[in-house]
Amino acid sequence: MNVDTTSPTLRSGLSLLLLALFFTALGLSACPSSTPAPPEDKGATSGAAKTSQASTTQAAATDDAKPNEDLLPAPGSREVKDAGPPAPTLFILSGLKGYLEPCGCTLDVQVGGIDRIAGYLAEAEKAATGALVVDAGNMLFELPELESHRIEQDKLKATYVLKAHQAFGTTSTTPGPNDFALGARYYLDQVRGAGIEILAANLKEEGDVPLGLPHMVHDLKGTRVGVIGLVDPNLFVGIEGLEVSDPVEAAKASVEALQKEKVHAIVAVYHANLAATKALMEAVPEIHFGVVGSDPRETDQVDQVGDGFTLEALDQGRYLGILKLYTRGQASPKTFANARAGSKAELERIDRRIAQIEGQIKRMPPATPGNEPPMLKTLRQQLTDLKARKQTASAEAIEMPESGPAFIYRAVPLEPGYPLSEEMTAALASYEKERKALVKPLPPLPPGEDGVQYIGTAQCATCHPKPMAVWEKTAHSHAIKTLKREDKVTDHDCVGCHVVGYREPGGSNLGTLSYPTSIGEGDARRAFTKNLEDVGCEVCHGPGSQHALAPVSADGKPQHIQREAPERLCVNCHNSQHSPKFNYPVYIEQVLGEGHARRP
């Protein structure tokens, strides 16, 4: 059938911040929803295939406080630029993974957000002679399994993800394994209820029941684009209620059907990584474009595979893929010419310079927003200028062939400054209101084996005043203020990286960051109220109750404490999504000082 689509209109709660607040060998010598309504029908359907006409001294929880709004470009101050002559355009989003907005941990992670995606799309579609929006999977959830205490909040986010896709005008999605975190039935009910088609040529429900359509044909003002949905079987192992078949055979069947429909271009949205996508395209050379749905890279360059090309758009709504097609009336051509090929050398030069500056920034001590040293400010400005130059070069360096089909592909980072959708900004506010209504303080988990529990930073300070003086100068010491200012203290997605012992035995829990406790027995019993706010000593050194009761062994050595805090602990929160400039050797120096230094 033919549907006219010429004008369609966060973050995981990290389990526990195990950040290197204190490095090695601290001298511890003594111590006391409902489903959203479907969008308006955009056309009729017919035929076998449905045709349709995304510190400073702080290496902690958030590297720092959330940047002030006045440090970022104002919404609408950045122009949405087009590249090349007007053309039918396919907009590509890789999985939102439940991210409604960027976490905003540092100035380096401000990219994305459903309001910015919608705002950008609304402007970009004005330059297209026909527009189509597709999703490459893992839209609903960040992880394939959900912790029980997070389910209600994650379900609420999923509802708003679907509302966002309705606002984007998304026509179809090809599922990823994370989408089935609450089961196949939940996924089907939610996505179908939102009026979004599921494309999955090799994925079925148990009993050989099609999960969705194998492919669709989109008529973009005379340019017919065939879109196939496929998934990598290796990513769906163990998911109940689903049956996965060979993607190559499914792709061949869809290609044959689409060629009979006399499409001008064939796009395979493949929920797989780059290597698997290339292998598919080698096996099915009739595919013109292969969208990488799983683990796409941060790049706007395409890789040629035979006569086809891979397309990548960084996930979580951070990048928007834009494919412009110039078919020039040729149905099912052998290949398309890359009209951006001439810009590749210049873009590579800019990319190398960007990498150099990012490396310099990474080697500098972290700095709180608004308090950067002059050199860091200069480097950040150079980085901003280079990225702007890259965007300009990408838009201007177009070499359109005189004849034959051609394409232009760009993956655009959705950075601050682009216009925001008022509808989606209001949706974010509505989500926050509903999220807060869900909050129910959770009791702390009982102490662990032998009564081991977290006791709070104040207890450590009674015997370790010098390390405490060092800690108080770091952003670790006021990590919770960031959440209080943003009213996120009860957000499952955020709180774990701002407190001590989150959801650990004898630690903190949602809404329960301070409570009475006691350690020891008899004359050694000590009762107190522990405060587990901020990124304190025990985040890196482990629960301190046993150490407080017996700080040293018979030979006078510190005991019952983890003295080293290796990098692997830090990256639970200082990862690429929340702290992309994290550099362990540089950052660790910011939390060391007199009385809190490395020991040989």
At 157-166, the pLDDT tens digits run 999 999 999 9
* Cβ(234)–Cβ(176) below 8 Å: no
Task: Please give the pLDDT value at position 363.
Answer: 76
At 236-286, the pLDDT tens digits run 999 999 999 999 999 999 999 999 999 999 999 999 999 999 999 999 999
Task: Please give the pLDDT value at position 342.
Answer: 54
At 200-221, the pLDDT tens digits run 999 999 988 999 999 999 999 9
178: number of CA atoms within 13 Å, CB side? 24
| Cα–Cα–Cα angle for 180, 316, 365, rounded to 5 degrees | 130
How far is the C-alpha of 549 from the C-alpha of 290, rounded, in Å?
61
Length of the chain: 600
Task: Please give the pLDDT value at position 184.
Answer: 96
How far is the C-alpha of 40 from the C-alpha of 17, rounded, in Å?
44
Task: Please give the pLDDT value at position 380.
Answer: 81
Task: Please give the pLDDT value at position 343.
Answer: 57
Among 235, 237, 244, 242, residue whose Cα is nearest residue 205? 242
Task: Please give the pLDDT value at position 437.
Answer: 95
Among 538, 439, 540, 537, residue whose Cα is nearest residue 489? 439
The Cβ of residue 511 has, within 10 Å, a number of other Cβ atoms equal to 13
Task: Please give the pLDDT value at position 29.
Answer: 35
Residue ranges of the chain with per-residue pLDDT less than 70: 1-71, 106-108, 341-346, 366-371, 394-396, 599-600
Task: Please give the pLDDT value at position 2.
Answer: 44
Task: Please give the pLDDT value at position 70.
Answer: 57
* Cβ(582)–Cβ(62) below 8 Å: no
Task: Please give the pLDDT value at position 5.
Answer: 43
Task: Please give the pLDDT value at position 367.
Answer: 64
